[in-house]
Amino acid sequence: MSLIEVEDLRVAFPKAGVQAVRGVSLSIAEGECVAIVGESGSGKSVTARTLVGLTGPGATVTAGRFSVKGRDALRFGQRGWRRLRGRFAGLVLQDALVSLDPLRRVGDEIAEVLAAHDVVPRAGRAAKALELLEAVGVPEPELRARQYAHQLSGGLRQRALIASAIAADPPLLIADEPTTALDVTVQAQILRLLAARKAQGTALLMISHDLAVVSSIADRVLVMKDGVVVEEGPTARVLSDPDDDYTKLLLAAVPSAASRGTRLSAIATGGVSLRTPLPERKVDHGSPVVEVSRLCAAYGPRKVVDDVSFEVHAGETVGIVGESGSGKTTVARLVLGLMTPVSGQVRLNGTPWSTVSERERRPRRSSVQLISQNPLDSFDPRYTVGRLIAEPLGGPSRERRDRVAELLARVGLPADLMTSHPRRLSGGQRQRVAIARALAPQPQVLVCDEPVSALDVSIQAQVLDLLGEIQAADGTALIFISHDLGVVHHISDRVLVMRDGQVVEDGHVDEVFFLPKHDYTRELLGAVPKLVSAEL
Amino acid sequence: MSTLTLTRRRGLAAAGWAGPVVRRLGAGVAVLWAAATAAYLALLLVPGDTVDVLIADGVDTPERRAQIITEWGLDRSQARQYVDYLVRLLHGDLGRSYVLQRGVGDLLATQVGPTIRLALTAAVFGVVLALVLALTTAGRRSWFGGLAGMSELVAVSMPPFLVGLLLLAVFSFTLGWFPVSGDRGFVSLVLPAVALGLQISGVLGQVLREGLERALEEPFAVTARSRGITERRLVAGHALRHALLPAVTLTGWFVGVLFGGAIIVEAVFGRPGLGQLTLSAVTGKDMPVVMALILLSAVVYVTVSTIVDLSYLLIDPRLRRSG
Amino acid sequence: MTIFDKESAFGHEPGRTVPPARRAADDADLPGLTLGSAGEPGGRRGGEPHGGPSAVAPPPPAVAASASPASPGVPVFPASSAVLASAAPVRRRYGLRPGLVAPLLFLVVAAVAALAPGLLSGTDPLAADPLHALAPPSAEHWFGTDHLGRDVLARIVHGAGHSLAIGAAAILFAAVAGTVLGALAGLSPRYLDEVFSRLFDILATFPELLLALLVISVTGPGTGNVILAIGLVQLPNYARVIRAQTFVVRRSGYVEQAVTFGLPRPVLILRHVLPNVLGPLPVIATIGMGTAIIATSGLSFLGLGPLPPSPEWGSMLAEARNYLRVAWWTVLFPGLAVTLSVVSLTLVGRHLQRRFERRLP
């Protein structure tokens, strides 16, 4: 029997003039795992929340049929929904740091569900909460129950959030991007936990932007785009033999070892997506542009970079991978000369860089430029696109207008964006503006710190392709920092695997990723969710 | 709740309280010292000879002058005078008012009672009114919410003495419900407390409502709703604590409003209290009293803000640091 | 109570890699509102728009602006643009709202009264007419007359110059001095900043009225001294907000980015830090001016303001309180003048605040 059956679900936010969901049909059977995959704005989250009546204020929900446990959900009032929430369906959101009340103890948060549905008498709730924490694999449950969300690690708090969602033993668990904020090894653990829940008979509705994440766990996949389901079917079939062009595009856009040297944003024509090669890059194996030797850095007493050495040549891409706190961003700051190392040094074009005074560094700064994760943060909030790009050229002026237009054209943006404000642009456009600005002073080295992490996969593909083209044309050296091993494998020539400030392994990317020597590299690689269908 | 007792048994230090508590107490002492110094500087800044300044409108005799010079150690070096002054303060000696011919400590002791009564009544009234308004209107777009918002705006935009005058005009002169002036029991406390409390409820009401509305939109509120709890429980169990955080930071400011407002409201309603004392001291340039009042307000402020900071720690565990 | 803002300013340990979804969280435009949304919807990973409640994380409570209890009238709040964006997706796109017309109109009239009172009232505000003392409002005296038979309307119009000018001057003083000190603190090395902020803390310690009274007890009453007193009282508000803002801007991504362009430090500060630091200033100055007007009237009510017979709103009220029983108009109209000025300033200030918050990334 189906737990939930929805036909022609439509959700609109009339005040905002948005039609978030436009005719979605969906059913979830007992014990089944259904995944909705889509990029931001596809309406996947709204769909999921509507299923528990939490669409939010100002939304109008209509459906041809909307039955929950055989009852007509369109006629539910607040009370009707409340009885179902937690008891019939538990909800797990993205980031437990903010999805658990930061001012309340973890144990109390879990007990709240028990109290709301009176599943356990008052006296037994604390004990039951401990039991639940233990069940989701939280060690030392007594300690954790009286701690607050911020005192738990990312993985533990996500487990605690799951414990609160399953406390009243609901037959359905809705997980909205449950692993997106997590490091890859922790993500693997949470996915295993969800899979175990499924094995015990709980139905799962997974919402994710990442096909690979759901591929190992979902029985069926729905691919959503612009509020519509464009493709639906058993997971293996959708991944290996997609019907819809958009699904193909999504699959082709996923960077991996196999996509090296080819374009990711291939345009699917006639139902066939072909990998077209990127222009050839020439790596200059002469003297390196950047030489990092035995670099150590610390914030106060805490050592964050410990004895890191590497070289980058013109035209080459060096990837740096690692989980949060591994020190990769600090390496970027050191290379950029934004921070002074404790010991060791960075040399640029064979001359000292990190050890000289800021006065000496200043005239050479144009040769190392930064592309950061969140471009909006890196834009002066008062500036227009034109002024932003003109700044490294020496400020806006009539003569520089043409140069700015030229740079915009290089990153595939029209010149009339010059007068717009970055806040008005989409995420992909913003990142292109950031790239245009970084290219303006004709740098020899681009430091890219998680440049595509905040982007949807199809946009990520375009940005990665753009970087590849630029590198081929200009012979720029790239230092590419990312937590995403697929992206790094796709774009890098050599790779450094970092952990706790140290480089645990480095070498040619294929060598490191196919024949890892260090245990940690193996652990990382093992944790990466793989598309079950392998490569196209 | 068992978790709470556990924390207690583990002690404050273990719960990450020790550091913040010590830091705040240290800051409090620093503020007190600075206030004492500021008061002393004010005395020096008043134009004219210090002895003249201290006597002000009091009786000026050679004996009195000699007495002042010994009392304040004015024949010693500047640095020594300052240190002596601090030492006297540490002993609780606030000096004498030569205008009123009394010890300043005594003066304060007789006047502080009515003011505290007024301030506390006003605070209770203001806080209760703000809570009621915020809880009944948060997150709901209704005519009542709009009206409450507008009246809060008007309440904070009116000088407290104007509120007092209007209340007098309506409730004392027209309706005759409350006495016009004086301090005779609770009845005479009502109008002054309302006049003073409205200021607080206006600001606090806005802060609480905004805090509640913000909290109700956060992800943890979605999670809490997804557990099937009622909206009422969501507000009481989750949102209110979040809304209290910004409100608590304003407590120090409220103390200032109460203290400063009391001066004016006491003048409007002809009540005895620190307000009258302050006014007469300022207009009569009775510096020993003015200095003592500065110290008193600093003590009150430090006490309140230390309590506030600690309650902040109580409400928001994220501010406690372990280790 | 800024004890907390150090912590919040350093809340994110430098160099810590923030997981992408958390970082990108503040970017919460609804898809329909993002230009070019078709192919590239707002660059976020994960969380999607869903009407009201936002799945994204507003920053932890005490963000820069909120760390300093702002100007009392109405506290300036941290700009959690995510919340704003989802709460008011449509409203935020339009500039002038109908609720703003009345306050602006009132302020224009008040400004005219302050600068050229003759245009609004030809009557001499000081001309006493004991025969017509305490006359109720009539065609001749729209707002009635006071106990000396002076025209209340004329006194209110001419009083604007005193009441509003004192408020404006005090705020100007507080804002300029506060900004300089706050920016200095924010740009200084840590130990100096510590000294500065303790100083602001201590200045903010005193109840406002008491500090003003202290200044006046040293300097004596009078217009200039009232300006000094109220300005000093307000100064720490500005200094603290500007300091906190300087902290945020100094460590912002765009300033760091500008460093990589090889801009020298003075250029950085003038081009990127200061202009962005000054952003909230008009907001708190507008709202602060309301507070200053209240404080001015309070001081004159106590007889410590501009010396009589200058027609100042507060001193008009002080004189009128003795005739409250017989001549309500002598209290009501000056009272309305004060209240409406403050309400108008606050409304305009809030509007500026909303516009300012919208600008934040």
pLDDT tens digit sequence for B179-228: 777 667 777 788 899 999 988 888 898 889 888 988 988 899 999 999 98
Identity of the residue in A15, A41, A299 whose CB atom sits nearest the CB atom of C48: A41
pLDDT given at position C359: 65
Q: Write the DSSP string, B226-243.
A: HTT--HHHHIIIIIHHHH
In percent, how much of chain A has pLDDT > 70? 97
pLDDT computed for residue C147 by the predictor: 73
> Among C15, C18, C37, whose Cβ lies nearest the Cβ of A330?
C15
Q: Has residue B281 got a pLDDT over 80?
A: yes
Q: pLDDT tens, B129-168?
A: 999 988 888 766 677 777 888 888 888 888 888 888 888 8
Strands (E), B60-138: 96-97, 102-103
**Residue in B7, B218, B223, B233 to test binding to A, most A beta-carbons within 10 Å:** B223
The dihedral over CA atoms of A252, A255, A259, A265, expressed in degrees to the nearest 10, equals: 50
φ and ψ of C310, to 5 deg: -55, 135
Neighbouring chains of C at 3+ CB pairs under 8 Å are A, B
Mean pLDDT of C305-319: 78
Phi first, then psi, for residue B122 (nearest 5°) are -65, -40
Cβ within 8 Å, pair C314-B218 = no
If asked whether residues B118 and B228 sit together in one domain, one would say yes
Task: Show which of B62, B86, B104 is a domain's final residue.
Answer: B104
Of A98, A145, A151, the CB nearest to B220: A98
In a domain, B181, yes or no: yes
Q: Does A426 sit within 8 Å of C37, measured CB to CB? A: yes
Residue C254 DSSP SS3? helix
With tokens 């997980």, the residue in question is A175
Q: What is the DSSP string of A335-369?
A: HTTSS--SEEEEEETTEE-SSS-HHHHGGGGGGEE
CB contact C278 to A (< 8 Å)? no
Q: Nearest CA of chain A to the CA of B227: how many Å?
A: 4
Q: What is the pLDDT of residues A356-373, one digit of tens each?
A: 999 999 999 999 999 998
Could you list the residue range(s) of the whole structural domain that residue B68 is in?
19-104
Q: How confident is the model at residue C73 (pLDDT cuts 50, 70, 90)?
A: very low
On whether residue B191 sits in a domain, the answer given is yes
**Residue A167 DSSP symbol:** T
Tell which of A11, A18, A323, A340 to mutate to test the C interface (max C CBs under 10 Å).
A18
Residues 83-112 of chain C whose Cβ lies under 8 A from any Cβ of chain A: 89-90
CATH homologous superfamily of A290-527? P-loop containing nucleotide triphosphate hydrolases (3.40.50.300)
Mean pLDDT check: name the lowest of A27-41, A439-453, A480-494, B295-309. Answer: B295-309
**Does B227 lie in the same domain as B167?**
yes
pLDDT computed for residue C70 by the predictor: 34
Mean pLDDT: which of A197-206, A278-287, C194-203 is highest? A197-206
Tell me whether residue B255 is in a domain: yes
pLDDT digits 0-9 by tens, A33-70: 999 999 888 999 999 999 998 888 788 899 999 998 88
Residue-level pLDDT at B20: 72
Are residues B94 and B239 located together in one domain of the fold? no
Domain count, chain B: 2
How high is the pLDDT of residue C26? 30
One-letter amino acid for residue A333 of the chain = R
List C-alpha distances in Å: B58 to B64, B280, B285, C33, C303.
Answer: 10, 13, 10, 73, 22
Strand-pair partners of B229: none
Confidence band, pLDDT 50/70/90 cuts, at residue C214: confident
Residue-by-residue DSSP string for A315-338: T-EEEEE--TTSSHHHHHHHHTTS
Interface A-C, measured as beta-carbon pairs within 8 A, has a size of 238
Arithmetic mean of pLDDT, C69-89:
32
Of B34, B250, B287, the CB nearest to C69: B250
**Which of B51, B83, B104 is at the close of a domain?**
B104
**Same domain, yes or no, for B162 and B65?**
no
Asked whether residue B297 is domain-assigned, the answer is no
Question: Which candidate in B1, B227, B234, B313 is best for mutational testing of the A interface (most A CBs within 10 A)?
Answer: B227
B35 lies in some domain: yes
C60 to chain B: which residues are within 8 Å by CB? 318
- Nearest chain C residue to A14 by CA distance is C51
pTM: predicted TM-score of the whole model, two decimal places: 0.79
Among B283, B301, B318, residue at a domain's last position? B283
Q: Which of A23-37, A247-261, B170-184 has the lowest mean pLDDT?
A: B170-184
Q: Are residues B71 and B151 in the same domain?
A: no
Domain identity same for B238 and B259: yes
Nearest CB partner across the interface for B169, out of C55, C74, C324: C324
Q: What percent of chain B has pLDDT over 90?
A: 9
CATH code for the domain of B153? 1.10.3720.10
B250 and B165: one domain? yes
Same domain, B98 and B145: no
pLDDT at A312: 95
Q: What is the pLDDT of residue B107?
A: 86
Provide the percentage of residues in chain C whose pLDDT is more than 90.
8
Task: Note the pLDDT of residue C194.
Answer: 82
Report d(CA C344, CA C290) in Å as an integer. 8
> Which DSSP string do the residues of B216-277 spell out, in sequence order?
HTSHHHHHHHHTT--HHHHIIIIIHHHHHHHHHHTHHHHHHHHHHHHHHHHHHHT--SHHHH
Q: For chain A, give the number of residues.
A: 536
3-state helix, strand, coil in chain C (%, to 5): 65, 0, 35
pLDDT at position B141 is: 65
Q: Are B77 and B322 in contact (CB under 8 A)?
A: no
Taking CA atoms, what residue in C is nearest to B206? Answer: C74
Q: Inform me whether the C-beta atom of residue C3 falls under 8 Å from chain B C-beta atoms.
A: yes
Is a pLDDT exceeding 60 seen at residue A524? Answer: yes
Cβ within 8 Å of B, C 91-150: none
pLDDT at A273: 54
Those residues with Cβ within 8 angstroms of residue B46's Cβ, 6 or more apart along the chain or in another chain: B53, B285, B287, C217, C218
C160, pLDDT greater than 80? yes
pLDDT per residue over A471-493, tens digit each? 999 999 999 999 999 999 999 99
Say if the Cβ atoms of C31 and A59 lie within 8 Å. no
A402 in contact with chain B, both atoms CB, cutoff 8 A: no
B8 located within any domain: no
Tell me, what DSSP letter sits at residue A136?
Answer: T
**pLDDT at A182 exceeding the cut of 50:** yes
Q: Choose, out of B25, B161, B266, the residue to mutate when testing the contact with C (most C CBs < 10 Å).
A: B161
Residue of A32, A158, A140, A11 lying closest to A96 (CA atoms): A158
pLDDT given for residue C360 in this prediction: 56
Quick one: pLDDT band at residue C3, thresholds 50, 70, 90? very low
Is A102 touching B (CB cutoff 8 A)? Answer: yes
Question: Model ipTM?
Answer: 0.82
How many contacts, defined by CB atoms under 8 Å, are there between A and B? Answer: 92
Q: Does C266 touch chain A (CB under 8 A)?
A: no
Tokens of residue B43, six digits? 């005395």
Separation of alpha carbons A238 and A225, rounded Å: 15
Long-range contacts of A136-140 (CB under 8 A, 24+ apart): A136/A160, A136/A162, A136/A163, A136/A166, A136/A193, A137/A189, A137/A193, A138/A163
pLDDT band at B63 (very low <50, low <70, confident <90, very high): confident
| Interface residue A78 vs chain B (CB under 8 A) | yes
Who has greater pLDDT, B155 or A441? A441
B contact residues 99-158, partner A, Cβ 8 Å cutoff: none
Q: Where are the alpha helices (DSSP H) in C49-151?
A: 64-67, 81-87, 98-115
Yes or no: say if A41 and A69 are a contact pair by the CB < 8 Å rule.
Answer: no
Q: Which residues pair with A317 in a beta bridge?
A: A478
Q: What is the pLDDT of residue A274?
A: 63
| B16 contacts on C by Cβ (under 8 Å) | none
User: Does any CB of chain C come closer than 8 Å to the CB of residue A326?
Assistant: yes
Neighbouring chains to B with at least 3 Cβ pairs closer than 8 Å: A, C
Residues B92 and B140 placed together within one structural domain of the fold = no
Q: Using pLDDT thresholds of 50, 70 and 90, give the confidence band for residue A267.
A: low
Give long-range contacts, CB 8 A cutoff, 24+ apart: B41-45: B42/B287, B42/B290, B42/B291, B42/B294, B42/C214, B42/C217, B42/C218, B43/B287, B43/B291, B45/C218
Q: What is the pLDDT of residue B154?
A: 86
The CA-based diameter of chain A, rounded to the nearest angstrom, is: 77
Pairing of strands A445-449, A302-312: unpaired
Measured in Å, how far apart are chain B's first and last C-alpha atoms? 25
To the nearest whole angstrom, how far is the Cα of C59 from the nearest Cα of chain A?
9
- Is A113 an 8 Å CB contact of chain B? yes
Q: What is the mean pLDDT of chain A?
A: 90
- Residue C288 is predicted with a pLDDT of 86
B314 touches chain A (CB under 8 A): no
Higher-scoring residue by pLDDT: C64, C96: C96
> Does one domain contain both B278 and B150?
yes
Residue position matching structure tokens 């009510």: C301
